[in-house]
Amino acid sequence: MTRRTVLKKLAAISAVTASGALAYGFTVARHYLEVTRETIDFPGLAPGLNGLRIGLVSDLHCSRTVPRSLLDAAVQALRREQPDLILLGGDYVTWGDRHFVEPAAEALAPLTAPHGVFAVLGNHDDDRDMPSALAAKGIAVLRDQRTQLTIKGETLDLVGIRYWTYKVKDIADVLRGASPNVVLMAHTPSRLVEASALSVPLMVSGHTHGGQIVLPGIGAVAARKYPVVAGLGRREHTTAFVTRGVGTVYLPVRLNCPPEVVILTLKTGPVAE
């Protein structure tokens, strides 16, 4: 057997393997929803907020390639967890497709929590129809805004910024007056740099889809530019959690990167020096 013949056979095997993996990622893996639970050490967290459970879901990408059944499964999984507070991380539709704005809002409508449901917009969401549809379902959309919650007599500040808000000064303006118990909602984990510069204790994000396609030995090629691709990350005194999200974009495929909804439990930690 010549070297050329061997290379041809290896190329054929690789092509078959890749096709099989993509088929599996399309038919099975992208529907295999997980519930991820993490405990977050939150320096200086007020004692009354210790144990607070935050539900996080992002990147539904309601579209022709993301079935409504997957969105419903994510919502029901989060409802079963009964979190104290729910945060939505953006990209409810794909490319701002107005045909799916109402279906996306309707899918999220059953979500309730004792301390409310709050959302930010992603880069795929328009600035008019999507926030209006969410607000009509009782979901508060934070667009470079801060809201203050009182939980067990303690103050928790939620700050939500737009995808295109990135300057430290502009984010600092939104944070002005916030208590030490502050959670920053930023669709993209790229904002970890600015959050760290402002000593924000916790930031939650989506956007990356965890890479969506994660190759063995190589990783999430499509998301390498982000400071955190999925899960927990840290920069100086700021902790970030980045969810893999629910839907898909570009290719309706997931490999080694299942969709998820997230439950974050806040734990009082020592104040950073």
pLDDT, mean of residues 195-218: 95
User: Which is higher by pLDDT, 91 or 22?
Assistant: 91
Residue 14 pLDDT level (bands cut at 50, 70, 90): very low
Q: Pick from 73, 79, 76, 75: which is nearest to 32 by CA? A: 73
DSSP string, 169-210: HHHHHHHTT--SSEEEEESSGGGHHHHHHTT-SEEEE-SSGG
Q: Which domains does the chain have, with CATH numbers?
A: 32-269 (3.60.21.10)
- Token pair recorded at residue 58: 């992002």
Please list, in sequence order, all residues whose beta carbon lies within 8 angstroms of the beta carbon of residue 15, skipping any fewer than 6 positions away.
none
- Asked if 268 and 50 count as a contact pair (C-beta separation under 8 A), the reply is yes
**What is the tens place of the pLDDT at every residue in 69-118?**
999 999 999 999 999 999 999 999 999 999 999 999 999 999 999 999 99
User: Which is higher by pLDDT, 251 or 15?
Assistant: 251
Extended strands (E) in 29-169 = 34-43, 53-57, 85-88, 117-119, 140-141, 145-151, 154-161
**What is the tens place of the pLDDT at every residue in 120-140?**
999 999 999 999 999 999 999
Residue 1 pLDDT level (bands cut at 50, 70, 90): low
Q: Kind of pairing, strands 117-119 and 238-242? A: unpaired
pTM over 0.75: yes
- Token pair recorded at residue 228: 């955190």
Is residue 8 scored above 50 in pLDDT?
Answer: no
pLDDT score of 221: 82
The mean-pLDDT minimum among 8-17, 31-40, 158-167, 260-269 falls in 8-17
Is residue 6 scored above 70 in pLDDT?
Answer: no
